C-alpha cells in the first residue's frame, strides 16, 4: 500500500471513530422513541404529560407528578449547593492557603467519583432516620433527597467554578488591587463577574447530574407518586419511576417507562440549549472570562 493510501485510510478511520458519538446518540434516541412512542400514542400526549395518576395496574399513565418531583428535588438541591459551592470555589481559588487547598482539592475530586449508590446508602442509613426524628413523617422526602443530591453535586460546582475563577487573567486582579480596592471588592466587582460564564456552566452541569440521578434518589425520596404539598412529602422522580418499575413491566407499561425516558431526554435537551445560549450571551456581554 502506498504511503498516500495509508494516510488516507487512517484519516478516514479516525473520522469514523469521531462520527461514532453521533451514531450512538442517534441510536439511543431512535431506540428510546421506538419503544416509548406507542405508549404516548395510545394514551395521548396531553394525558401522558399532564396526567395526575400513575397506576399501571389500571392503565393510568400520567407522569406529571414525577415531572414536578424531578424539578422540585433539583431546584431544592441547587438552592443549597449553588451558594455553598460558589463560595467554596472562591475560597479555594482566592482565599485559601496552599496547604488547605492541598487537602480540599483531592477530597473534592474523590467525592466527585464516589458512586451515587454510596451516597444513597449513606442517606438511607443516616439522613432518613435523622429526618424522621427531627421533622416527623417517614423521613423519606423531597427534602431528604435534595440534601443527598446537594452533597453529590457540590464537587462538580466547586471544581468547575474554581477552574473558571482561576482562569481569569492575573492582570485583572492586580489592576483592581492597585487601584486601592480591597480583596473582597476585587472578587465581587472584577473576578467573579469575569468568571460568570464558567460558574453558569458548573451550575448547569450540577443541574444535569441532579435531574439524571436515579438510584440515590430512589433510596431516600420515598417514591410516592404525588404532587408534594410540602418539601417534607415523599416524591418520585422520573428517573426513579423507570428504575423501580422496569423490572416487572410488560406490554404498554414497558412502553410507558420508555416514554418516561423520552420526557427525561427532552428535559436534558432544554438544559443543553439553555446552557449554550447563556454561555454564548455571557461571553459577549462580560468578555475576558472565557472558560
Partner 1 sequence: MGDCRLHRIIPPKIAQKIMDVIFWASGIITLLILLMVIGYVFYKGLPVINLEFLFTDPMDSGKAGGIFPMIVSSLYVTFIAVLVSAPIGVGAALYLAEYAGENRTVRLIRFGAETLSSIPSIIFGLFGLAFFVIYLRMGWSVLSGGLTLALMALPTILAASEVSIESINKSYAQGSLALGATKWQTVSKVVIPAALPGITTGIILGMARAIAEAAAILYTVGAALITPISLLDPARPLPLHLYILATEGISLDNAWGTAAVLVILILIITVTTNTLVDRYRKQMMGR
Distance CA 42, CA 159 (A): 45
Q: Is 212 in the site for partner 1 (CB under 8 A)?
A: yes
Backbone angles phi, psi at 235, to 5 degrees: -135, 165
Stretch that binds partner 1, among 2-10, 55-63, 129-137, 226-234 (CB under 8 A): 2-10
| Minimum separation from the CB atom of position 176 to partner 1 (A) | 12
Closest listed residue to residue 64, CA positions, set 241, 214, 208: 241
| Minimum separation from the CB atom of position 284 to partner 1 (A) | 19
| Minimum separation from the CB atom of position 12 to partner 1 (A) | 10
Distance CA 199, CA 193 (A): 10
Q: Is 127 in the site for partner 1 (CB under 8 A)?
A: no
Q: Interface residues for partner 1 in 63-122 (CB under 8 A)? A: 84-85, 87-88, 90-92, 94-96, 100, 103-104, 106-111, 113-122
Q: Is 31 in the site for partner 1 (CB under 8 A)?
A: yes
Q: Interface residues for partner 1 in 133-152 (CB under 8 A)? A: 151
| Minimum separation from the CB atom of position 286 to partner 1 (A) | 15
Nearer to partner 1, 28 or 75 (CB): 28
Amino acid at each position: 500500500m502506498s504511503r498516500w493510501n495509508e494516510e488516507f485510510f487512517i484519516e478516514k478511520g479516525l473520522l469514523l471513530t469521531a462520527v461514532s458519538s453521533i451514531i450512538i446518540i442517534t441510536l439511543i434516541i431512535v431506540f428510546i422513541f421506538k419503544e416509548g412512542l406507542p405508549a404516548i400514542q395510545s394514551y395521548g400526549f396531553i394525558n401522558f404529560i399532564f396526567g395526575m395518576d400513575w397506576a399501571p395496574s389500571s392503565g393510568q399513565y400520567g407522569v406529571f407528578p414525577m415531572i414536578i418531583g424531578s424539578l422540585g428535588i433539583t431546584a431544592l438541591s441547587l438552592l443549597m449547593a449553588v451558594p455553598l459551592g460558589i463560595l467554596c470555589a472562591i475560597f479555594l481559588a482566592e482565599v485559601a492557603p496552599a496547604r488547605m487547598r492541598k487537602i480540599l482539592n483531592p477530597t473534592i475530586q474523590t467525592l466527585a467519583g464516589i458512586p451515587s449508590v454510596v451516597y444513597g446508602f449513606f442517606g438511607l442509613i443516616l439522613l432518613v432516620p435523622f429526618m424522621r426524628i427531627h421533622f416527623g413523617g417517614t423521613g423519606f422526602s423531597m427534602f431528604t433527597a435534595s440534601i443527598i443530591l446537594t452533597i453529590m453535586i457540590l464537587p462538580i460546582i466547586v471544581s468547575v467554578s474554581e477552574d473558571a475563577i482561576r482562569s481569569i487573567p492575573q492582570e485583572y486582579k492586580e489592576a483592581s488591587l492597585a487601584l486601592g480596592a480591597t480583596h473582597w471588592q476585587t472578587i465581587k466587582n472584577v473576578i467573579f463577574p469575569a468568571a460568570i460564564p464558567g460558574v453558569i456552566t458548573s451550575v448547569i452541569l450540577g443541574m444535569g447530574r441532579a435531574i439524571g440521578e436515579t438510584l440515590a434518589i430512589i433510596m431516600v425520596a420515598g417514591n410516592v407518586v404525588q404532587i408534594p404539598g410540602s418539601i417534607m412529602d415523599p416524591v418520585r422522580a422520573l428517573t426513579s419511576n423507570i428504575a423501580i418499575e422496569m423490572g416487572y413491566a410488560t406490554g404498554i407499561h414497558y412502553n410507558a417507562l420508555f416514554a418516561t425516558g423520552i420526557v427525561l431526554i427532552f428535559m436534558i435537551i432544554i438544559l443543553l440549549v439553555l446552557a449554550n445560549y447563556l454561555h454564548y450571551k455571557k461571553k459577549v456581554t462580560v468578555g475576558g472570562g472565557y472558560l
